[in-house]
Structure 1
Amino acid sequence: MSIFRVTGFRRFLVEVISDGLTFFAMGLVLMTALALPSFQVTASGEFNQVDDYAITFLDRYGNEIGRRGIRTDDSIELATLPDYLINATLATEDRRFYEHFGIDIMGISRAMVTNARAQSFVEGGSTITQQLAKNLFLSSEKTITRKLHEAFLALWLETHYSKDEILKLYFDRAYMGGGNFGVAAAAEYYFGKKVQNISLAEASMLAGLFKAPTKYAPHVDLAAARGRANDVLTNMVQAGFMTEGQVTAARLSPAAAIERFENVESPNYFLDWAFGEVKTIIKDYPIGTAFVVRTTVDPVLQKHAENSISSILREEGEAFNVQQGAMVVLEPSGAVRAMVGGKDYGKSQFNRATSPTRQPGSSFKPFVYATALETGKFRPNTVITDAPICIGDWCPKNYGRSYAGRVTLKSALARSINTVPVRLSQATGRQPIADLAHKMGIQNSFPVTRSLALGVISVSVLDMASSYAVFANGGYKAKAFGISRITTLRGDVVFDAKKDIAQERILQTETVAGINEMLRAVVTSGTGRRADVPGTPASGKTGTTQSYRDAWFAGYTGNYVAAVWYGNDDYTKTNNLTGGRLPAQTWQKFMVYAHSNIKVANLIGADFNNIAVEVSTEQNGDDQSPQLVRPPTLTPDAGEKLRKLERKLEDLLLVFDRAPTAENTNPPLQSPLG
């Protein structure tokens, strides 16, 4: 056993080696334990997800109109990137990238010496592989545990990917500031160029962003970005990638970021809504994927819709104590051509066009009349009694508490009489009315109460436009949609709206013709006369709620459907604003422009000759105006003369339009004519 006994200096060596092996074994066990989370991360095969998708939106003609989510582009091959961008990155971030195994021992040693001399942290030792490991798998917390995981994951990456694949992932996944991930997206954002076309000065500025993108982003601090770019050029010279003479021009003419005006021209309310619609369609794709989305929005109509709302508010908003407006324009198929969600997107991003929080008042009445016509027991010329009515302790009344006696359904709707739709709801049942409203496009649920017939529910402007499109297209379902096609950046088709989808019929053709005829009378001789579009058959309905909190006009031609709302966000009362005033004026202003230089499509049941209502001098709920006689066989010339006469009378007529918002006893109500 003497061979195991050592003394003197040999014993000292044995003790040192023995203790060293022991601690080495303990270290391996500890390192393995610390690495277990890293092994679990790689076993899952999932990279870190960025915060959102990257969506580029195009208008109906294929022109870019805005972006949402993050900005990223992974479609650029490494071989097509400029050599000086790659060299600038390697010179600054990892000069020995193609030599080390994921962890650069020499680089770490050099950084430690440099930091010790400076007595502060001035240089890091992380390789590109380690930075990629952090981007793909870890958080940005600065802890020893995270650094250990980063080292293990760097080794894993080096064994599973080639150097070029790692570098490509790094260029695609690194955050570059301004919501941009990857050099391709950053080049587009900062310089308005494809990354393949950037200059040496621009490449050095991009390479400088990897260290601290929020600090050196040129749109945040251009001086700091240029200073950092100059350091990158120096690194390239020191690394031997370029000579001083080759970088001199880039030093003398540093890069500058283009000016960006994100919210000036983009249809931002529409884009916010469309972004949500896109995410529903692509929900099965990984977060962070980039897409190009072709929308249905028409930039010319969108601009005019915005101008129609803003100009009316600017000119008459103060007089009526109204601060906000919203508008949605569709084609009868449901394709959204314009969306205005408020007066100023910069001040408020709340989308009033899609939020189902306002009562429609009398603009809901067409659903009641359509339900009645669907039964086959009622037609536009059916006579019904306008007289006091009570359901339990609820007794809705016409404005002014006057009654017309025997009236046709057509006249009752044109004059927005309240008792008639309530009687119709008793005849058909209230649940069928609610069911039809949902089938036509009202998506949010609402209680089926006694006051349903007078529009005491909450709806969105978008749903009202979508529902009225059923009248415009002959009775078919017309769910509003804003997305026509979605592709990846490489052009792979993800979604394509089917234009030949079997249409779902909601209303009979006879019902559509009857409603169009009745709503045409609203525009020609009822509460919506201000919405009359010369030379274009138009139908629609006004709506005003209790205390004048909401004012509506929803209407359509054979070409377009539009719903307009005005009110205040805090639900304060307007100054007697009715649906027949600003909403109808806005609708008419837009439609006159939209129908210029296009072929006017037919509207079933609403031609120029089919606009008669009976003679009446009774005051009606919305305007207190005498009803003009329209013979059913009027010639176009005679009809135009009568319309001119009506327009002259309009300024002399006061439109009253109110509807109840609660089931109170004997309220001084009258569902608006509008």
Structure 2
Amino acid sequence: MAQSDAENGASTIRAKVGRMTGTRRSKPPLVAEKRSRPAPKRRKPAATSRRTSSRPAKPRGVIGTLLWPFKWLLILIWRLFWRGTVVVGAIVGVAVFYYASTLPPIEDLVDGRTRGSVTLLDARGETFAWRGDQFGGMVTADTVSPHLRNAIIATEDKRFYNWYHIGIDFYATAAAMVRNQRLYGNPLRGAGGSSITQQTAKLLCYGRPFDLNAWESETEYEQDCRSTTLWRKIVEATYAMAMETRYTKDEILTIYMNRAYLGAGSRGFEAAAQRYFGISAAEVNAPQAAMMAGLLKAPSSFSPTRNLQTAQDRGATVLRLMREAGYLTAEEEATAQANPATLSAAARQRAGGYFADWVMDSGPNFFTEQTTEDVIIRTTLEPRIQNAAEEALTWVFENKVREGSQAQAAIVVMSADGAVRGMVGGRDLTVAGAFNRATQALRQTGSAFKPFVYGTALELGMSPLDVLVDEPRCWSVPGSGEYCPSNYTNDFAGPMTMVEALQQSRNIPAVALSETVGRENVRTVAENFGIDSDLANGPALALGTSESTLLEMTGAYAGILNGGSAVKPYGLVELRLMGDDAPLLEAAGGIRERVIQEDAARQLTWMMYQVVEGGSGRRAAIDGWEIAGKTGTTNRARDAWFIGFSGDYVAGVWMGYDDNTPLTGVTGSGLPAEIWHETMRRVLDGLPVTPLPMTIPQTQVPQFEGTVTSTGQNGGGLGYSEEQANDIIQDLLIDLITNGG
């Protein structure tokens, strides 16, 4: 009963709720009567298990326990890293796209020179020197010798052609940084491990052309492009990836092969192949390719024109790398190692460096040192004569000069018209751009000046056989007191002919003669012959106290050889642009106005011939040849000269110290005369004998003690009696006194 009431109440409540919610409960379906069973146990709410699963599992183990406090930091770092990587990748991608869009066609990049080149040809038309940046023409990865391409890859970037090479060799870069840190304490100092693409990016200076407003010189520009900083490495890597995007591997290699500097003024492998081997880059063999690829590490240090053995040793290393990379078999490497590359005849000659520098200075600057064009200059140089001068200088210093001596010497050889055929400006024969003692050193000329005194006297009508007196004399010099010269031998020979005075290089007769004929006349003759330097005003003018260059003095003697006409020494014959036939400039030197009459010049030549035959220049004599010349030694032997000529060539030699230290035991009649002899002996070897253009005096005087008579075709008969000779001497003395001499 009670249960029924309860059920009824529950039904009533459900009915009310149904009415309130607007639903009606349908009749319950007919079901079987429920069986009584025990109520199931309640489970824990699921929410409890969800809350438990959201908590991190408790760390297990010692390491986990230690890292547990830092896990949040590691998560933060990881999230920052991948987000930063995405940002950096986006920036790099934009930079790569920008650089790639600015890269021009490769044809615009192969010739990266900021200045042109000058090719110097000798008198035969053969190349003997280069100046500026030489570019032999464009080559490609397909047109060069396979040996050359393989040598470059094996040496500089052996993974260059791999598919995963995106412009950066990460392995090589990391290894280089570790090595640099170990050796120098700075990962960016030393070897960079740069790929060929990165090196090419550096050669292009990351797209920045040379600008005089930004860099003072090309050298400064190149140093800036090669500087290594962290930021610069980032730019380099970005630019390299841009190049890999814009160009093919072969195109990148092509740019690299055309822009790389390979020493001796060679830009690109075509220029280097022509410079060192005289062939095209398409023709080089394995040893030649290895030598050129070896230059990439240090072009100046490994240049074969500087040190062939060093270049060959570096080439041997490259051959080994080629074999290890699979480009050469062991047998091919052994053959190449046994036959190292050698220089061509023109490159091996290394002649004419001083001459080339002088010719460059003699031409217009905008076509020589500062040219932006490729220029060809034909010159007067004769390699045979140049080699003769270089060999002679080397031989004398090796055999006649004490070891360790710092004395210097210079040589000039020219034709009678002033065409310079050979020039040595110092003992170092391999330099370029060095101080040229033949053209730049102003030195006192000493007795080498005396021919101009005697030439003036002959021009004024005196004879080589006129008598002078060698005796103590003094001349008054305003503001300086008395000038009393002495002879080198510190003795006096008394009366002697002019030829004898010159032959023995007596000082007092030369000064007396200069004062007699007029010091200003002597000055005029010397200047007209080409001595441009300031000449002394006092009586010491006759003894060569003024300064001059060896080139000037040799050119002045050329005027004596050619019959008395001045010459302007020259080396440039014509200048033209490469590819043009018409010259832009032609020779500006050669024979000029007459200075003394031909008969006076021929008599002076005979007098100078006597100097070599039996006077102070005997060491310069060459068997079978007539040689004329004059020695010269300055105060305290600071300078020693010998200048002389055959019938074809005139040559001058100077010797001394750059700092004016006196020479020890050296006079013009010694080592300079020997250098001259060794030079001209080689120059004249094999040539037909040419007699000197000289006139032997017809009138002769008594032979005083110590004099030398004519050895020419007219013999040496005495034409004057002793009484007549004494009258001549008295007349000359009276003339000297009357004229204030």
Query: TM-score range, shorter-chain basis?
Result: 0.5 to 0.7
Asked whether the equivalents of residues 294 and 314 of structure 2 are also in contact (C-alpha less than 8 Å), the reply is no
Match of 2:205 among 134, 137, 145: 134
Q: What corresponds to 1:440 in structure 2?
A: 529
2:713 aligned with 1:630, yes or no? no
Q: What corresponds to 2:543 in structure 1?
A: 454
Map 1:158-173 → 2, pairs under 5 A: 170-173=256-259
Alignment deviations for residues 230-268 of structure 1 (CA, whole Å, 9 cap, x no partner): 57668xxxxxxxxxxx98987786677525699997465
2:454 aligned with 1:369, yes or no? yes
Map 1:211-610 → 2, pairs under 5 A: 219=312, 221-222=314-315, 224-226=317-319, 228-229=321-322, 257-259=340-342, 266=349, 268=351, 270-278=352-360, 280-281=362-363, 283-285=365-367, 295-306=379-390, 308-309=392-393, 317=401, 325-341=409-425, 345=429, 352-374=437-459, 376=460, 378=462, 380=464, 388-392=473-477, 393-399=481-487, 400-402=490-492, 404-405=494-495, 409-426=498-515, 430=519, 433-445=522-534, 447-484=536-573, 498=587, 503-533=592-622, 535-567=624-656, 571-574=660-663, 576-588=665-677, 590-591=679-680, 594-595=683-684, 597-601=686-690, 603-604=692-693, 606-607=694-695, 609-610=696-697
Asked whether the equivalents of residues 93 and 127 of structure 1 are also in contact (C-alpha less than 8 Å), the reply is no
Alignment deviations for residues 315-372 of structure 1 (CA, whole Å, 9 cap, x no partner): 65569x9965543322212233344455664899865444524332111011233344
1-side partners of 2:556 and 2:144: how far apart? Answer: 51
CA-CA distance at 1:140 after TM superposition: 1.0
2-side partners of 1:113 and 1:592: how far apart? Answer: 63
CA-CA distance at 1:500 after TM superposition: 9.8
Asked whether the equivalents of residues 523 and 530 of structure 1 are also in contact (C-alpha less than 8 Å), the reply is yes
Q: What amino acid is the match of 2:281?
A: V
Ranges in structure 1 where 5+ consecutive residues have no aligned partner? 1-19, 40-44, 98-103, 235-245, 619-625, 643-674
Alignment deviations for residues 472-505 of structure 1 (CA, whole Å, 9 cap, x no partner): 1122333333444566776867677549967443
2-side partners of 1:350 and 1:569: how far apart? Answer: 10
Asked whether the equivalents of residues 110 and 254 of structure 2 are also in contact (C-alpha less than 8 Å), the reply is no
1-side partners of 2:429 and 2:534: how far apart? Answer: 28
CA-CA distance at 1:398 after TM superposition: 3.9
1-side partners of 2:428 and 2:301: how far apart? Answer: 31
Q: What corresponds to 2:166 in structure 1?
A: 107
Q: What amino acid is the match of 2:137?
A: S
Q: What corresponds to 2:21 in structure 1?
A: none
1-side partners of 2:684 and 2:275: how far apart? Answer: 38
User: 247-256 vs 572-581, which deviates more?
Assistant: 247-256
CA-CA distance at 1:616 after TM superposition: 4.6
Q: What amino acid is the match of 2:360?
A: V
Q: What amino acid is the match of 2:271?
A: A
Q: What corresponds to 1:196 in structure 2?
A: 282
1-side partners of 2:296 and 2:568: how far apart? Answer: 46
CA-CA distance at 1:396 after TM superposition: 2.9
Asked whether the equivalents of residues 322 and 574 of structure 1 are also in contact (C-alpha less than 8 Å), the reply is no
User: 419-428 vs 542-551, which deviates more?
Assistant: 419-428
Cα separation, partners in 2 of 1:177 and 1:354, compared to 1, 3 Å: closer
Cα separation, partners in 2 of 1:528 and 1:58, compared to 1, 3 Å: same
Q: What amino acid is the match of 1:225?
A: V
Q: What amino acid is the match of 1:258?
A: A
Q: What amino acid is the match of 1:133?
A: L
Cα separation, partners in 2 of 1:545 and 1:176, compared to 1, 3 Å: closer
Cα separation, partners in 2 of 1:143 and 1:511, compared to 1, 3 Å: same
CA-CA distance at 1:168 after TM superposition: 5.5
CA-CA distance at 1:470 after TM superposition: 0.6
Counterpart of 2:546 in 1: which secondary structure?
coil
2-side partners of 1:190 and 1:289: how far apart? Answer: 22
Counterpart of 1:365 in 2: which secondary structure?
helix
Cα separation, partners in 2 of 1:431 and 1:193, compared to 1, 3 Å: same
Match of 1:75 among 125, 137, 144: 137
2-side partners of 1:167 and 1:382: how far apart? Answer: 80
Asked whether the equivalents of residues 296 and 337 of structure 1 are also in contact (C-alpha less than 8 Å), the reply is yes
Counterpart of 1:516 in 2: which secondary structure?
helix
Cα separation, partners in 2 of 1:183 and 1:379, compared to 1, 3 Å: same
Alignment deviations for residues 591-621 of structure 1 (CA, whole Å, 9 cap, x no partner): 45644553444544x24x4487644545xxx
CA-CA distance at 1:175 after TM superposition: 2.2
Cα separation, partners in 2 of 1:225 and 1:381, compared to 1, 3 Å: same
CA-CA distance at 1:204 after TM superposition: 7.9
CA-CA distance at 1:555 after TM superposition: 1.6
Cα separation, partners in 2 of 1:595 and 1:193, compared to 1, 3 Å: closer
Counterpart of 2:205 in 1: which secondary structure?
helix
CA-CA distance at 1:271 after TM superposition: 1.8
Counterpart of 1:75 in 2: which secondary structure?
coil
CA-CA distance at 1:145 after TM superposition: 6.0
Cα separation, partners in 2 of 1:251 and 1:338, compared to 1, 3 Å: closer
1-side partners of 2:517 and 2:201: how far apart? Answer: 71
What TM-score does the superposition give when structure 1 sets the normalisation length? 0.65
Cα separation, partners in 2 of 1:571 and 1:596, compared to 1, 3 Å: same
Asked whether the equivalents of residues 470 and 508 of structure 2 are also in contact (C-alpha less than 8 Å), the reply is yes
Alignment deviations for residues 551-590 of structure 1 (CA, whole Å, 9 cap, x no partner): 3322223211122344455655556544344444554565
CA-CA distance at 1:455 after TM superposition: 0.6
Report how many aligned residue pairs link the two structures: 577
Cα separation, partners in 2 of 1:341 and 1:584, compared to 1, 3 Å: same
Cα separation, partners in 2 of 1:152 and 1:438, compared to 1, 3 Å: farther
Q: What amino acid is the match of 2:629?
A: G
Q: What amino acid is the match of 2:568?
A: K
CA-CA distance at 1:114 after TM superposition: 9.2
CA-CA distance at 1:47 after TM superposition: 8.7
Counterpart of 2:567 in 1: which secondary structure?
coil
Structure with larger RCO (C-alpha < 8 A, sep 6+): 1
* Percent identity over paired residues: 29
Counterpart of 2:568 in 1: which secondary structure?
coil
Q: What corresponds to 2:25 in structure 1?
A: none
1-side partners of 2:116 and 2:252: how far apart? Answer: 22
Q: What amino acid is the match of 1:331?
A: S
Alignment deviations for residues 110-161 of structure 1 (CA, whole Å, 9 cap, x no partner): 7669978999786659468734522864611124665687799999999999
Cα separation, partners in 2 of 1:454 and 1:292, compared to 1, 3 Å: same
What TM-score does the superposition give when structure 2 sets the normalisation length? 0.60
Q: What corresponds to 1:243 in structure 2?
A: none
